[in-house]
Structure 1
Amino acid sequence: MDNNININDSLEALVNNERRRSSSFNQEDKMNPNTEPVEFEKNFYTPIHTLSAKEADSLRESAQIKLTGKDIPLPIVDFFNINFPEKILRHFERKGYTKPTAFQAQVWPIVFSGRDMVGIASTGSGKTISYVLPALTHAKAQQPLRKDDGPIVLIIAPSRELVSQIDQVVQEYCSIYDLRSCAVYGGASIVTQMKALKRGVEILVATPGRLTDLHEEGFCLLKRVTFLVIDEADRLLDMGFEPQLKMIIQKTHSERQSLILSSNCPREIKTLANNYMKEYIQVAIGNEYSICNIKISQKVEVMDCQDKKNRLLFLLQDKKSDRVIIFCNMKRTCDTIENFLGENGFHAASIHGDKTQAARDAAIHNFKTCTKFILIATDVASRGLDVENVKLVINYDFPKAIEDYVYRIGRTTRGKVDERHTFTMFTKDDIRNGRDLIQLLKESNQDVPQALENLVKSSCGSFSEN
């Protein structure tokens, strides 16, 4: 009991002290007397030995590296091509790292050069170290933190688990660079996090929710942030953190270096990059849309519109205890399918723009708690939907853009479900997306139905035209 009182007293004292210094989230200058901007460096790359243009093309082709942007540096050969401290190289040797991953080989020259970057890669590509080491190099080279300065490096991630994983990597290398780091996320003592931030940290790893709370209380200024990383950006957007991300980005230094990491590249990530990054380079391992979808079984069936309802019932007949999401393009279709399934003994709920927020929240809650196993949604209403262990996604209507198809089938990638399946109903009205769908299926090592090939050929003359 006494411990709880002490913790609460400490928290109240800390918060009240900061509130006396700042009465508003938007009055950041008043929170920190050190309002003079700090000059900083971004380019720390001096090529020692890079691949030739021919060798670079060969590496990129073999690793399926796709690049977009101007003046892209050539990839490196080994760890000695980056001017790492000797202690880092010895640490690599102890860890058994013999050479950079393909992603690191291309990304390090870009990031160490101070360029903004969007990196599209899956787990196992070495992406965390690909930004952590440049971040620490960047932070070490800047002027020391002044009293009440916030962090120099800010890494944002969607979950407590991922923040903890990233922080472990940061901590592993921080002692070599003589830097301080801190991880902040919900579910842990905010008092401990506040005290760490008051002492000063060069590196901060945070979930957007807890970071916003701390900033509003005056404990985490962001003006000194000159190296920003948004990791698993696709999931952050899925979880509805776009408003917080925009607010956080706008509070950082306007000339910062920015990195966005994601497992795929939906339209919202491109918009975020275009709005807040400067002449960025995009590095993708594999296809930017299909990179995370190779492990998803994608079945596409060409059919007439009038056959959709019966096909839907057939698909659901053995799925009464599995989470299923059905995507429709129109609100009235969602309602129609919800009623139709109810009449046939299935417990389903729908979400779309005409539903009240309370009704949408209730539908999602029932779906998450398995009170209802089927959720019917439009693309817009499903943004921010982060539900684990969805076994089947059904595209009752094919979306208007191929990016939305990728977003939809990606709903099966959350959680630990072994089998991830999608089923897409494709009609002649969807033919404008036929070529893109065939290409995506092939790049994801999925079967392309002959009926789809025939439909595209009959519409376009041949699949290879244009």
Structure 2
Amino acid sequence: MQSVALLMRACQRCTACLLHHQPWRFLVTGISEVDLPRITVPHKMQSRLQKIRQRQRQDQPTIKKSVFKSPLVISCKRGNFNHHRGQTYNDFGPQALASYGWKSRKSAGDYFTVVCHDKNPALASEESAKRFEDLHLDESLVKAVHSMGLVVPTNIQKSGTPAILSGGSTLCAAETGSGKTLAYLLPVLTMLLQRRTLRGEEEAVNSPSVIILTPSRELADQIMRVVETLQQHVDFTAYSVCGGRGTKGRLAWPVRRPMDILVATPGVLRKLLIAGQIKPSGLQHIILDEADTLLDDSFMDSIDRVLSRLKIPTLDSGVSGGRVVSPGGLDTSDTGFIGGVQFVLVSATVPRALPDSIGAYLPVDALQQVTSPGLHRLMPHVPQKFMRLLPSQKSPELVKLVRSEVEKKAGSMMIFCNSSSTCFYLGHLLEEHSLPAALINGDMTEKSRQGVFERFQEGRHDILVATDIASRGLDTINVRHVVNYDFPNFVSDYLHRAGRVGRVGSHTSGLVTSFVTHKWEVDLLWQIEISVRKSADLHNVNANIKRKISAEYAKRHGTTLDAL
């Protein structure tokens, strides 16, 4: 009876008081508070979470387990996004990408790496390997390349040399660092020496047989260094002219000298042609090195003026009954030459606007296209790491990376950014941390820029900070690490930057590290990751920089650059 009375008295209390009344609850229920289940998540919310987890498991792509025996291709911070060679997906979608959620700031700190998973595609396989002696080159040139330590040609040299020797206009497109300079120099010089032997041609004053056009002074200097190496074993003359290096003086006091090969940038060559200092009468070959850049809208006006001054007929004025005719009426279509001149376009990407840009001077359908299997793909022999960072994290992370490389003394390093102002900023930043760096960008004067890249190649500078002006064509076999401080805006820019490492002749495969910060950068990263996971070519590798920048500016600001 006493316990019933106590129970009735307790029932009169409110529930809240009863919860804190330990003795009475023990008497009534016979259990302690510790033994009671505690509800921390509402039941309805638990049901929703279970449904969400179930849906996420269903959305994950189904992977065939057998492919996991193959080598790893993509290594991720989150291991469930790892990718192996040959791995397939029943339902491939954006959710299969490691970078799928990188447009959110919450993804900062995530990363993945495309690891080294195959050999350099530029190198010929042992089964199909040829020697330079098999390419029908002049004997003196074969001796010259042997003196350079070269015995077996690369894939583009093996396939491009016969195409150019045939006399037809040719497009040679191969991945960066595959030996394209020798791929066109060796056959062109062979033909030059053959003409000299057969016809007894003498070197004409200021009338080159070969004109090589390049988009930058640094690339022109590099080509001249290769030419000078060949000159030690082969009898020919070469001359180089670049803008900003005493052009006014050359126009005032013209130089008269014999020249077989002229290496030039488009702007200064146009001025020399207008002044009559370069005569096109003996011209046989025009080579556009880094053609994807030279056929860009920003260069095309100069290229068009140069070709007009060289008196190369356009197809509109030189076609008779479907056959190409030179100004003198000579039919040259059977020889493969257009107006007696052979065009050779050399590039690491195939220009999409080729018919619109060069199509006025040669029939694009008749253009021989020689491409390598690694074209428009990430280099499989170079590890490439992508890091998702917040803008405030980029500078500290860069200093950390550079200091680590300097302490290891493993090799030189290139840092790429998208603007000259960022280039100058990074130079000051590294200087403040006792990490001096050389700079190259388009806003530097010729005097301050001259010789910088050459000193970097020689090892007198360990760090080079540059814009994309240093990403095309330049040979950087000593570079071990490339850092994209600013993620490139376009696929073609990424391929050129990454191509500064892992080149033929390099001692190491190198490493590429890219900082991904902004939402619009993730779109490009998705293209790259999809290409690797599907083992497919990169799409939309459009090299028209000026047109792309104008389109991007109009997309973001609602007006074109021309309207400003």
TM-score normalised over the length of structure 1: 0.52
Where does residue 393 of structure 2 map in the other structure? Answer: 318
Question: Using the alignment, how far apart are the partners of 2:230 and 2:170 within structure 1?
Answer: 22
Where does residue 30 of structure 1 map in the other structure? Answer: none
2:160 paired residue among 91, 102, 107: 107
Question: Using the alignment, how far apart are the partners of 2:488 and 2:228 within structure 1?
Answer: 43
Question: Using the alignment, how far apart are the partners of 1:214 and 1:394 within structure 2?
Answer: 35
AA aligned opposite 2:220? V
1:125 paired residue among 170, 178, 185: 178
The alignment status of 1:439 with 2:497, answered yes or no, reads: no
Change (3 A) 1:208 1:410: same
The alignment status of 1:419 with 2:505, answered yes or no, reads: no
Q: For residues 187-198 of structure 1, what are the structure 2 equivalents within 5 Å?
A: 187-190=244-247, 191=249, 198=256
AA aligned opposite 2:224? D
Where does residue 330 of structure 2 map in the other structure? Answer: none
Q: For residues 49-64 of structure 1, what are the structure 2 equivalents within 5 Å?
A: none
Where does residue 391 of structure 1 map in the other structure? Answer: 485
Secondary structure class of the residue paired with 1:286: coil
Where does residue 134 of structure 1 map in the other structure? Answer: 187
Q: For residues 43-442 of structure 1, what are the structure 2 equivalents within 5 Å?
A: 77-140=130-193, 141=195, 144=201, 150-174=207-231, 176-190=233-247, 191=249, 198-236=256-294, 240-252=298-310, 253-254=312-313, 255=338, 256-269=341-354, 271-278=356-363, 279-290=366-377, 297=384, 315-319=390-394, 366-370=421-425, 386=469, 390-393=484-487, 405-407=490-492, 409-410=494-495, 419-422=513-516, 438-439=530-531, 442=534
**8 Å Cα contact 1:116/1:259 also seen in 2:** yes
AA aligned opposite 2:394? K
AA aligned opposite 2:134? N
Change (3 A) 1:385 1:64: closer
Change (3 A) 1:79 1:394: closer
Question: Using the alignment, how far apart are the partners of 2:218 and 2:493 within structure 1?
Answer: 24
After superposition, the C-alpha distances for 1:352-389 in whole angstroms (9 at most, x for unaligned) are xxxxxxxxxxx966455449x9xxxxxxxxxx974877
Change (3 A) 1:436 1:147: closer
Secondary structure class of the residue paired with 2:140: helix
Question: Using the alignment, how far apart are the partners of 1:316 and 1:132 within structure 2?
Answer: 45
After superposition, the C-alpha distances for 1:158-181 in whole angstroms (9 at most, x for unaligned) are 222221221122233346543221
Question: Using the alignment, how far apart are the partners of 1:166 and 1:409 within structure 2?
Answer: 23
Question: Using the alignment, how far apart are the partners of 2:397 and 2:216 within structure 1?
Answer: 25
Q: Which has the larger radius of gyration?
A: 2
**8 Å Cα contact 1:167/1:183 also seen in 2:** yes
Question: Using the alignment, how far apart are the partners of 1:84 and 1:207 within structure 2?
Answer: 28
What is the count of residue pairs matched by the alignment? 306
Change (3 A) 1:197 1:231: farther
AA aligned opposite 2:259? V
Question: Using the alignment, how far apart are the partners of 2:141 and 2:251 within structure 1?
Answer: 28
Change (3 A) 1:209 1:296: farther
**8 Å Cα contact 1:238/1:385 also seen in 2:** no
Change (3 A) 1:173 1:138: same
After superposition, the C-alpha distances for 1:268-317 in whole angstroms (9 at most, x for unaligned) are 456445444441222222343235798685869xxxxxxxxxx9xx7424
**8 Å Cα contact 1:181/1:201 also seen in 2:** yes
Change (3 A) 1:108 1:244: same
Where does residue 21 of structure 2 map in the other structure? Answer: none
Aligned-pair CA distance for 1:257: 1.0
Change (3 A) 1:317 1:176: closer
Question: Using the alignment, how far apart are the partners of 2:153 and 2:470 within structure 1?
Answer: 34
**8 Å Cα contact 1:157/1:231 also seen in 2:** yes
Aligned-pair CA distance for 1:439: 3.5
Change (3 A) 1:102 1:218: same
CA RMSD of aligned residues (A): 4.8
Question: Using the alignment, how far apart are the partners of 2:205 and 2:274 within structure 1?
Answer: 15
After superposition, the C-alpha distances for 1:125-174 in whole angstroms (9 at most, x for unaligned) are 22211111222223331663686652110011122222122112223334
TM-score normalised over the length of structure 2: 0.44
Change (3 A) 1:97 1:425: same
AA aligned opposite 2:216? S
After superposition, the C-alpha distances for 1:46-76 in whole angstroms (9 at most, x for unaligned) are xxxxxxxxxxxxxxxx9868xxxxxxxxx98
Question: Using the alignment, how far apart are the partners of 2:178 and 2:496 within structure 1?
Answer: 22
Question: Using the alignment, how far apart are the partners of 1:282 and 1:217 within structure 2?
Answer: 35
AA aligned opposite 1:77? K
**8 Å Cα contact 2:172/2:370 also seen in 1:** yes
Change (3 A) 1:103 1:63: farther
Secondary structure class of the residue paired with 1:282: strand
Secondary structure class of the residue paired with 1:290: coil
Question: Using the alignment, how far apart are the partners of 1:258 and 1:151 within structure 2?
Answer: 15
Question: Using the alignment, how far apart are the partners of 2:491 and 2:379 within structure 1?
Answer: 9
After superposition, the C-alpha distances for 1:109-130 in whole angstroms (9 at most, x for unaligned) are 1111112222222444222111
Question: Using the alignment, how far apart are the partners of 1:265 and 1:366 within structure 2?
Answer: 30
Question: Using the alignment, how far apart are the partners of 2:292 and 2:381 within structure 1?
Answer: 17
AA aligned opposite 1:285? S
Aligned-pair CA distance for 1:101: 1.9
Secondary structure class of the residue paired with 1:229: strand
AA aligned opposite 2:304? K
Change (3 A) 1:394 1:134: closer
Secondary structure class of the residue paired with 2:282: coil
Stretches of structure 2 lacking an aligned partner (at least 5 in a row): 1-118, 123-127, 314-337, 399-417, 429-466, 472-482, 502-510, 539-564
Change (3 A) 1:116 1:322: farther
